[in-house]
Amino acid sequence: MSITILLVIYVALTLGTICVVGIYSELERRRFGPAHPEDRVFRCAKCGLVYTDDADADRSRCAQCGKLNVPVEF
Ligand SMILES: [Zn+2]
């Protein structure tokens, strides 16, 4: 077995390991990361429905009764 083949195998194994680790960490991040971390939570003052909307929405219309609500502050 020549030194060239050993080098090719070494580089291929190293790149393969990096690829597997990269794919695995990406899958873990998608599984545990919040789907919409910047969403605001709203609670309807009229019917009590709790829902979310975009972070830049200062007021959001209730999907159930149509009343405009302000976001809930935690
Ligand atoms: Zn409502």
Dump pLDDT digits (tens) for 31-58.
776 665 678 999 999 999 999 998 888 8
**Number of folded domains that form the chain:** 2
Q: Does residue 8 form part of some domain? A: yes
**Residues 25 and 48 both lie in one domain:** no
**Residues 4 and 28 both lie in one domain:** yes
**Residues 4 and 29 both lie in one domain:** yes
Residue 60 and residue 43: Cα distance in Å, rounded? 10
Domain that holds residue 52: 40-69
**Residues 4 and 27 both lie in one domain:** yes
- Using alpha carbons, list the distances in angstroms from residue 48 to 2, 38, 43: 74, 22, 6
pTM above 0.75, yes or no: no
How far, in Å, is the centroid of ligand 1 from the Cα of 35? Answer: 24
How far, in Å, is the centroid of ligand 1 from the Cα of 59? Answer: 13
How far, in Å, is the centroid of ligand 1 from the Cα of 51? Answer: 10
Q: Does residue 74 form part of some domain? A: no
**Residues 29 and 55 both lie in one domain:** no
